[in-house]
Amino acid sequence: MKRQNSFRMLGLFVLLACMLAACSSQAGPAGAFDPENQQEYGVSGVYLGQNIKEAMDLLKPTKADFMDMISRESYTVERMAKGEGEAVMGMLLIDRTQLLVKVRKGELISIMLGGVAKEDAARFQTLRGLSMYDSKEQLKKLYGEGSGETEVVYEGSKYTANFGVSGGQVVWFRFDSK
């Protein structure tokens, strides 16, 4: 009888440990904002430095158009994923929200988002868990103290994050490689 109880307790312990591990992995990045980590600069699962093909697979846009900013040549995701294109701008339509990206040699170098409908705000979270229309206090809680009031800026040596604040809420954000 004691042996059976021991197995039950062991089973409960393993189940509890698995549940805690699963919950903690969904909580987002732990610790303070790391301005040198490129994966801190992203939204909806995509981040700076990521290959455009991977990003498109995650975002699943309704429509996407890419054009070289100098020559005006159209680009496909496949061409960019192979490393083509020095300065390609893309406009992605995700249902009714526009997400703008810049791509250099197949990698995301800029991600810009604004004009999100309030009912879609939770769908577009930064990789730290900040949603569009979250408060400026939530921005500080997740990213720490930034410079500026209406445009709050966080800088690392290779990357910059800019958050537009109006009425105490985050209304747009942009992540850029330097």
Domain ranges in the chain? 1-30, 38-177
What is the C-alpha to C-alpha distance for residues 171 and 131, in angstroms, rounded to an integer?
Answer: 9
| pLDDT tens by residue, 50-102 | 999 999 999 999 999 999 999 999 999 999 999 999 999 999 999 999 999 99
| Sign of the alpha-carbon dihedral angle for 54, 59, 60, 64 | negative
Residue type at 116 in one-letter notation: V
Q: Which are the contacts of 31, defined by CB distance < 8 A and separation ≥ 6?
A: none
How far is the first Cα of the chain from the last one, in angstroms, to the nearest whole number?
66
Mean pLDDT of the chain: 87
DSSP annotation string for 5-72: HHHHHHHHHHHHHHHHHHHHHTS---SS--TT-GGGSEETTEETT-BHHHHHHHH--SEEEEEETTT-
In tens, the pLDDT along 111-123 reads 999 999 999 999 9
